Amino acid sequence: MIWFFVLTTVKILLVLVPLLLGVAFLTLVERKILGGIQRRKGPNMVGFLGLLQPMADGAKLLMKETVLPSVSNKVVFLLAPMITFFLSLVTWVVIPFDFGYVLSDLNVGVFYLFGVSSLGVYGVIIAGWSSNSRYAFLGALRSAAQMVSYEVSFGLILISLFLVVGSLNLSTLVLFQKNTWFLIPFFPLFLMFFVSILAETNRPPFDLPEAEAELVSGYNVEYSAAGFALFFIGEYANIILMSHLTALLFLGGWVNGFFFFLLKVMFVLFVFIWVRAAFPRYRYDQLMRLGWKVLLPLALGFVFFSASLMELVLCG
């Protein structure tokens, strides 16, 4: 019993420690890439080539005083970033990194993924409401509407893939791509999926909940120090998670080896950053129209198409 507990703890740490380090250095890489695209240097003063900048930023946030707004609901205010941070970590339980290298290889792993990701909106709503600030509350309402809207398309896209595979297990889906990546036959689905995960993670050009020009910083405007750091880590952990999912679902995952799997994930992360630098922010009505009037009908149509195709194959 004790050895099982120790082994489980080691497995969890082998996932969480690289994830947290990845979040730290993803912020550095993002600032470097954005600096290169915008013809400036980016972080270059702290350590060799600025490599210690994430450590300096983390130390600054943890050493600062946590300011609690006098009109906020303080208990709920402190609980919100913890919820976001916790949910961003527990999703990794069902993510396979190689054949057999997964914390819990659930046969209904996709249902678990849906369940945990749908809970993510609660941390944002609670943060906006408990701050008792109009900016934060409006950002929370925007985020709730945006995440719920694109969650529907996100789910339908995954349903189309798993109808073809015939299993809800992520490892099975990766093995199904041994000969052909799903990117090739399902390229329209890939484009819709990538747009959906940009909206799900509140990334540009869909960063309406955090629009600096309108809402100062959106739902986390009243947070500082450790509370802001937890929101920040949760957001970037979700970006890495969605990049992993993209590599697993459409780019063949680890069928070509773990090293190439990491290269695929890094490529998707680079595209996340490139989109931030290249595209202007959408208006909110354009964002909702894209979700409900474009992506949802197309994703639903692909579900019917995939189901009809599999019926023909099975009957034939």
Domain boundaries, the chain: 1-63, 67-315
d(CA 45, CA 49): 7
* pLDDT cut 70: percent of the chain above it: 97
- For residues 262-280, b (16+ Cβ closer than 10 Å) or e, as one string? eebbeebbeebbebbeeee
Q: Is residue 281 classed as helix, strand or coil in its secondary structure?
A: coil
| Residues whose CB is less than 8 angstroms from the CB of residue 292 and which lie 6 or more positions away in sequence, other chains included | 149
pLDDT digits (tens, 9 = 90+) for 79-104: 999 998 999 888 898 888 888 788 88
Q: Is 249 left (phi over 0), alpha (psi -120 to 50) or beta?
A: alpha
Among 140, 87, 143, smallest CA distance to 114 is for 87
What residues pair up with 101 in beta bridges, in sequence order? 98
pLDDT digits (tens, 9 = 90+) for 252-290: 888 888 889 999 999 999 999 999 888 888 888 888 899
Residue with the bigger pLDDT between 53 and 214: it is 53
Q: Rounded mean pLDDT of 198-214? A: 77
Distances, alpha carbon 247 to alpha carbons 27, 28, 208, 307, in Å: 20, 22, 26, 24
User: What backbone torsions phi and psi does residue 204 show, to the nearest 5 degrees?
Assistant: -55, 145
What was the pLDDT predicted at 69?
83
pLDDT digits (tens, 9 = 90+) for 30-73: 999 999 888 888 888 888 888 888 888 888 888 888 888 888 88
* R_g of the chain, CA atoms, integer Å: 20
Q: Rounded to 5 degrees, what angle do the CA atoms 205, 208, 212 make? A: 100
| pTM across the whole model | 0.92
Task: Share the mean pLDDT of the chain.
Answer: 86
Are 181 and 252 in contact by the 8 Å Cβ rule? The answer is yes
d(CA 135, CA 219): 7
Q: Retrieve residue 5's tokens.
A: 């507990």
Instruction: Please determine, for residue 221, whether its predicted confidence score (pLDDT) is greater than 80.
Output: yes
* pLDDT cut 90: percent of the chain above it: 18
What was the pLDDT predicted at 3?
77
Q: What is the DSSP track for 159-177? A: HHHHHHHT---HHHHHHHT
